Every structure is written in C-alpha cells, then in structure tokens.
Amino acid sequence: MAGGAAFLASTAPWLSSCTPEKLAEVKKEKARVALIGSGSRGQYHIHNLMNIPHAELVAICDNYQVNLDAALTICPTAKGVKDYREVLSDPTIDGVIIATPLYNHASITLDAISAGKHVFCEKSMARTMDECLAVYNSYVNHNVALYYCMQRMYDEKYIKGIKQIKDGLIGDVVGMRCHWFRNADWRRPVPSPELERQINWRLYKEYSGGLMTELATHQLEVCNWAAGKIPTQVVGMGDIVYWKDGREVYDSVSLTYRYADGRKINYESLISNKYNGMEDQILGHNGTVDLTRGVYYLEEDNMIPGMRQLLDQIKTKAFASIPTAGPSWKPELKSDYVPHPLVSGGISVNAGQSMISADHDGSDEILSAFCQSCITGEKADDVVGEAYSSTMLCLLGNKAMEEGRMVEFPEEYKIPYMKF
C-alpha cells in the first residue's frame, strides 16, 4: 500500500515509519503495551492487538469492574488494574492505549507523556481547546511517540483516493460534502442511577463534544487532507430534535466550514434517521470522489457510449424524432453517474451505523504502526497535527452552534503544522 517514497512524500508521509521493510526490522521484538479503558472500543483494540505479532498486551486498566472483567476474559494473560497511574509507573511497559471517554483523554495523555510512555489515544484529542494545546505542547517537548486513532489516514481507499485527487483526477477541488446519519439514541444500559453519567457520558456537555467530537472529527480531517489547508471560519446550527430524554448534546447538527480561498465543507449529522448513512465526498470541477465507498464519478464520462443514452431515450420516448448518432453521454443527474473504483479488488464500505468500528477501516493498521513506534521510537507528527486540527475544528463548530454566530479560527490555537 505504501507505493514508494514519492507516493509517501506527496500523499501520506506518516506511512514512511511503518513500511514492510521497517516492520521486518522489528519482527523479533514486541512492544509491551497496556490498555486504559476497556469498554466496547477498548475491547475492539484488544482483538486487534492479539493479531499484531510485534505487540504484547500486558495490562488492562479500568475503574468500571464490569468492563474490566469482560476485557480480561478476552485476554486472560494481561494483568487487571484499576488505577492507570499503576500502569504509568511500571518501567516494563513501553506504551499505553487510551480508550476512555473523551473528557479523560487529555489528563491521561499528559500523565503518560510525562511518565515517558508512548501513547495511542482514541479521537478526539481532548474536550477543550486549551487541553488540546496543552497536549500538543507536551508532545513537542518530550521524546515519545503520540498517535490518535485517525484511522482514515491508514485506510487504503482513502490513501489512494487522496493520491488521485492530488494527481488531478477530478480537476481542481472546489468543495467538500460530508454527512453521518444514524438512527439510535446513543444510550447504553445503566445498572444503577449513579452510573448514568459514567456510562452515558456522550450525552452530557461536561464530558462530551457530541456528534462533532464523536463523528465529525474523522470527516473534517479527510477534508483538510484533500484541501491541504485548514478552514478559517465556521457557522452552524445544532438542536435536540428527536431524542428529548434529558441529554445535553445535539442530536442534529448542520455546519459550513469556509477556507480562506472560498472553498467550503458542508457537514451534517443526525441520529434519528439512517437513510443516507455516511459519506465523505470531495468535489472537483471534473468529478467527485466518494472516499467512503472507494469510488469516483466523472462529470463528462467518456467511458459511457452515446448509444446507451440514445437507447434509453428511445425506450422512454423522450424524443419526437430520434437522432441517428450522438456524442459520448454527459451525465446530468446523480443517478446517471457511473462509479469507478479507486482500488482494485474488494473493499470494505462503512455504512456508519456501528458504534464501535468497521472492518478494514485502518484501525488495525494504525494500531500496528503505534506498536512499531513503541519499539523504534519514531514519532508520527502528521497524525498528531491532523488530530489536533480536526479536534479544534469540531470544538469551534460546537462554539459556533452554541453562540449562534460565525466563529474565526483563533490565532492563539494555531500551530506550525497548520496551513490556512
């Protein structure tokens, strides 16, 4: 998938640290890692870790015994721990994987970096902009690897799709459209009332950034990847439309992000209708790339003979008189466009309905890359920069919705990685 040095430099430079050649160098070594947070996503990581030959899961930490017991059943050789500080003080542990609720990401990451541990953390980077900046500054000042689970950066159809976009497949990129629709209340069973906020943390603003930090962070990152820039402004509206059950975060959001050159990201998400599923669309003046499905469409598709249109028009009696010949067909409606694959062979398409993961979405690849960095010490600066940028945009989007105004990207939160 790497495809050579030139490919990496132009499209996905972060892959240069985990090429097959570099993986061969560490095949006899194992990264000793600990998992902090053993809920559904944490347990998903356990399954992936057990299939990574250069990884050994030595400890699992959770302060919720039900989840800890379930995780230890999957990996009984790991040590069960209730306080993450015990993990950080263990000199035999190389790195930690943080799969806790969002509001704990920053504090645990900062403690782990200070303890000299390599860190892999779930998205988003942190609950607040100040926390994001604190984590970024700590990373810059310490010699440890830091990864965030921005798995699209390691997903083959996204990597090759962005490469073809940058090579001019669809002409100039003129806009981006992303959406993520589900139909579920986002609630999980609570065995006792005092555990409501601990278990259903996603529903409360103190702990969660709602749809933006849980879903949009992935999609905004992809848009920035395609654009090669960060938006300067955002405006939007958010509401609780359907799930009026005491939650504090929106169940419906609609936002527009604007780049300095006028291009825009139109983003929408709600969790009371799943018909449209999930899409990440990059729009060019010559075509459209749907990265979610791993396909592209051309505005003027010369692969479609004019005869096809002619026969369709004869069948539907579209013309009073029928021409005998015509040019190659130019699609006019969405249903007319023919999809062309971005990658050869079968691909896994994420419909966006799972609360945990999708098969072959890059999650296992990025986790493997992290374990490799635990052995080699190589950093993943781009992953950190992308995670910081997309998280900040999500938090700014929430700010724009809550305050009912257009919000500019604050100067004090800009980092050298960003291009505007």
Query: HSE of 418 in the Cβ direction (CA atoms, 13 Å)?
Result: 22
pLDDT recorded at residue 300: 87
Contact predicate 380/146, CB 8 Å: yes
Contact predicate 267/178, CB 8 Å: yes
Contact predicate 211/311, CB 8 Å: no
pTM assigned to the model: 0.91
For residue 397, give the nearest of 124, 103, 150, 134 by alpha carbon: 124
The Cα-based distances of 75 to 31, 78, 227 in angstroms read: 16, 6, 42
pLDDT recorded at residue 325: 44
Q: Assess if CATH 3.80.30.20 describes domain 5-153+360-383.
A: no
Enter the CATH code of domain 168-357+389-413: 3.30.360.10
Bridge partner list, 183 = 272
pLDDT recorded at residue 322: 44
Amino acid at 263: R
The edge-to-edge listing of strands for the beta sheet with 31-36 is 79-81, 55-61, 31-36, 95-98, 118-121, 146-148
Amino acid at 150: M
pLDDT recorded at residue 323: 45
**Distance separating alpha carbons of residues 348 and 214, to the nearest angstrom:** 21
**Distance separating alpha carbons of residues 236 and 270, to the nearest angstrom:** 14
The Cα-based distances of 95 to 55, 61, 220, 411 in angstroms read: 10, 13, 28, 33
pLDDT recorded at residue 23: 79
The Cα-based distances of 286 to 165, 289, 341 in angstroms read: 11, 10, 16
pLDDT recorded at residue 413: 98
Other C-beta atoms closer than 10 Å to the C-beta of 69 total 13
The domain ranges of the chain are 5-153+360-383, 168-357+389-413
Per-residue pLDDT of the chain (420 residues; tens, 9 = 90+): 445 556 556 788 888 877 778 878 887 899 999 999 999 999 999 999 999 999 999 999 999 999 999 999 999 999 999 999 999 999 999 999 999 999 999 999 999 999 999 999 999 999 999 999 999 999 999 999 999 999 999 999 999 999 999 999 999 999 999 999 999 999 999 999 999 999 999 999 999 999 999 999 999 999 999 999 999 999 999 999 999 999 999 999 999 999 999 999 999 999 999 999 999 999 999 999 999 999 999 998 866 555 555 556 666 655 444 444 444 556 667 778 899 999 887 766 776 666 565 667 889 999 999 999 999 999 999 999 999 999 999 999 999 999 999 999 999 999 999 999
Contact predicate 112/98, CB 8 Å: yes
Contact predicate 210/247, CB 8 Å: no
Which sign does the torsion angle of CA 411, 414, 419, 420 carry?
A: negative
pLDDT recorded at residue 360: 73
**Distance separating alpha carbons of residues 159 and 86, to the nearest angstrom:** 38
**Distance separating alpha carbons of residues 25 and 31, to the nearest angstrom:** 13
